[in-house]
């Protein structure tokens, strides 16, 4: 799995995507506070998996993602050459 640099550190979480994720819909990988998650950005913010995150942590993560969602979708599309 090819790793990508962290593109946001906020509230103890790190947000990134992987260059090997090209065939999937836009999403982010999150880690921090002893857990990890994969969160879809489209069609809406949806957790595919959340390891060791209770609902309070998931709500924190969701709030951060919603704040940056449009920007991250644009970055994803530019990186993978999508329109």
Question: How many whole angstroms from its chain centre is CA 8?
Answer: 10
User: Would you give per-residue pLDDT tens digits along the chain (83 residues)?
Assistant: 566 778 899 999 999 999 899 999 999 999 999 999 999 999 999 999 999 999 999 999 999 999 999 999 999 999 898 86
Range of the domain at 13: 8-80
Does residue 3 lie within any of the structural domains?
no
What pLDDT is attached to residue 5? Answer: 75
Q: 51: which strand partners?
A: 36
Does residue 2 lie within any of the structural domains?
no
What pLDDT is attached to residue 83? Answer: 61
Does residue 73 lie within any of the structural domains?
yes
Does residue 1 lie within any of the structural domains?
no
Q: With 0.95 as the threshold, say if the pTM is over it.
A: no
Does residue 43 lie within any of the structural domains?
yes
> How many domains does the chain contain in total?
1
């Amino acid at each position: 799995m090819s790793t990508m640099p962290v593109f946001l550190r906020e509230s103890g979480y790190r947000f990134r995507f992987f260059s090997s994720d090209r065939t999937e819909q836009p999403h982010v990988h999150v880690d921090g506070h002893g857990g990890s998650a994969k969160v879809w950005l489209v069609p809406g913010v949806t957790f595919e998996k959340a390891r060791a995150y209770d609902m309070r942590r998931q709500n924190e993560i969701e709030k951060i993602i919603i704040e940056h969602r449009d920007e991250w979708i644009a970055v994803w599309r530019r990186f993978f050459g999508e329109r």
